[in-house]
Amino acid sequence: MESEAYAVETLVLKITEGSERAIEIAADLLKKGELVAFPTETVYGLGAIATNEKAVQKIFTVKGRPQDNPLIVHVSSIEMALPFVAAPKETFVFLAERYWPGPLTLVVEHTGVLPKIVTAGLSTAAIRMPAHPVALQLIETAGEPIVAPSANRSGRPSPTRAEHVLDDLGGEIAAIIDAGPTQIGIESTVLLLTTSPPRILRPGAITKSDLEKCLGVEIVEDLLPPDTNHLTPIAPGTKYRHYAPQLPIFLFSEEAHVIAKAAEDQRMNREKILLLVSATQLPKFRSLFHPRIHIAEVTEATVYEHFRQAEKQGFTQIWIFVDHDIRKRSGLFNRILKAAGVTSVDKTVQGDKSDQRAETL
Ligand code: TXA
Ligand code: MG
């Protein structure tokens, strides 16, 4: 078992006031070829030095990540990224100057100097400069780019707290730098620059309209991965079911459907249900169902935390009421659809079968 091969005691490095010592220890471990989880402004990442193929391979092993899913190269300056960027260089620099450090990953034609394992053999590479001071200091101190997928076991919700990382990977990685909860809560926007027009492969905090305003061109956004449209997948990671808790998730677009299902549940199943809704819907659903059904607000910053907490607190089902507000927030909406394993909200409402959730994505 991989878990035995890499069994170690995971060192927890807490960032309080003076973070230098913790970061030095973490950078040393990275340089020795170990894996270190660290905070970014989006989610916690699982880091390895990008040029150390053996260390990068460990990432795939401990996460259980398919080998054909490439990694994001994290840099602490635009200069650090340039040796990897073949084209389009100008747009790359223009966007990096505007949005870095920040939650925007740029996918470009690479120059061939990165190990194949990082790019999964593709001609493109994904690069970003994170905005979290700890992440930046870690890359600076290591003196080299760091590859970092989200620090969850493959398929699980991304970690927004150090405890989430320890729950998934504790005992299998050398260390984690704990700097408290991450700010944004969902992963970076992934923007493909090798197509014309550019294409958002994964929506995030930097939106289609932000990028359109900045570039002055129209941008294509796939709310769901292109492979669901029978195109060749261009973001390899998007073809796998993602971000999912171990509980069934049911999505609803109409209040009447929630009421009908709640009535049916009361007669038949008596599940322990967590109902997630946008802020504006809270009072209405509380007055309808409280206290039999637990109701909470869902946002980008809390969606993965809710998924993980629901498991821990013994909920048996998660229901999400997807209103106009949630649909407009493409990053949040995308993660909800992917966690439920469906391509549209109405599919779960009509079908209402948990096996339907598992068949795609
Ligand atoms: O916010 C984030 O981006 C976090 C933090 C830790 O930086 N990282 C993250 O990494 O979400 P990961 O590995 O969980 O997701 C990276 C996504 C995957 O869907 C992957 O397929 C895609 O980026 N990707 C990586 N390289 C690519 C490439 N060359 N072409 C297209 N997609 C690529
Ligand atoms: Mg991930």
pLDDT digit string, tens, across residues 151-174: 999 999 999 999 999 999 999 999
pLDDT at 19: 80
Let me know if 121 is exposed, middle or buried by CB neighbors in 10 A (0-12, 13-18, 19+).
exposed
Let me know if 77 is exposed, middle or buried by CB neighbors in 10 A (0-12, 13-18, 19+).
middle
How far CA 36 is from CA of 17, 79, 145, 237, in Å, comes to: 20, 24, 13, 22
pLDDT at 244: 81
Atom 19, ligand 1: which residue's CA is nearest? 237
The strand pair at 189-192 and 36-39 is best described as unpaired
179-182, long-range: CB < 8 A, 24+ apart: 179/15, 179/19, 179/39, 179/132, 179/134, 180/15, 180/39, 181/301, 181/305, 182/39, 182/40, 182/41, 182/42, 182/43, 182/44, 182/132
CA separation for the pair 340, 7 (Å, rounded): 32
Q: Residue ranges of the chain with pLDDT lower than 70?
A: 1-7, 17-18, 225-241, 346-361
Q: Which atom of ligand 1 is nearest to the CA of 45?
A: 6
N- to C-terminal Cα separation, the chain? 27
DSSP H or E segment with residue 125: strand 124-128
- List the structure tokens of 289: 């169902």
- List the structure tokens of 163: 């405890």
CA separation for the pair 219, 292 (Å, rounded): 44
Atom 15, ligand 1: which residue's CA is nearest? 149
Helix/strand/coil percent split, the chain, to 5: 40, 20, 40
pLDDT at 109: 98
Q: Which atom of ligand 1 is nearest to the CA of 188?
A: 1
pLDDT at 230: 35
Ligand 2 centroid–CA 188 distance in Å is 10
Choose the residue to mutate in 36, 106, 187, 234 for probing ligand 1, maximizing ligand atoms within 8 Å of C-beta.
Answer: 187
pTM of the model: 0.92
Choose the residue to mutate in 72, 193, 227 for probing ligand 1, maximizing ligand atoms within 8 Å of C-beta.
Answer: 72
- Does residue 237 line the site of ligand 1, with CB under 6 A? yes
